[in-house]
Amino acid sequence: MSYLVLKTIHLIAVVSWFAGLFYIGRMFIYFKEAALYEEKKKQILQDQFKLMTKRCMYIITWPSLAITTIFGFYMLHENQILIYLDWMKVKLVFVTILIVYTAYCQKILNNMIMQNTISISDFKLRLFNEFATLLLISLISLAVLKTSLSWLKAIFVFVTIAITLLILIRLYRKYNS
């Protein structure tokens, strides 16, 4: 299989993985917000959000993670010099964090299903959801910019985006409470 075909499959799986994570994050927030409704409406909405989140996790997110990982390692196997490059080492750290993030989403889903609750506040869920955005920005930047990336500028941009997202979440919370 050509390297470009491997890369294409890998990138499609990455996009699907992030789509799943973004969707799951929203479902967690909607599930949490549904707790504010009267009991009958709450039950109907929360049951639907559990079903939607479970399907997304098992049909989109986990399979995309697996395909991303398999084809990512296959690409490293085909182009072994990459593993020695600093940007790739940093990228693999971010990928590891993303896998842990996905596993934590599974933990939240398990609690949602088994205990019919999410113990994390809606504000923290919003922050948690935006963490995936920061990981996406970091991973894409590393993959595209590679060695042309100034680490100092990258950290500055990362922190600026994180602060901007925090401010936007706080504004949303303030005006929609």
Give residue-wise pLDDT tens across range 83-123: 999 889 989 999 999 999 999 999 999 999 999 999 999 88
Distance from C-alpha of 99 to C-alpha of 68, rounded to nearest angstrom: 11
Give per-residue pLDDT as tens, 148-173.
767 777 778 878 888 888 888 888 77
What type of residue is 152?
A: L
Is 91:139 a contact under the CB 8 Å cutoff?
A: yes
Average of per-residue pLDDT values in the chain: 92
Structure-block tokens of residue 145: 């910019």
Residue with the larger pLDDT of the pair 153 and 36: 36
In terms of pTM, does the model score above 0.85? Answer: yes
Distance from C-alpha of 93 to C-alpha of 109, rounded to nearest angstrom: 24
In 35-96, DSSP assigns E strands to: none
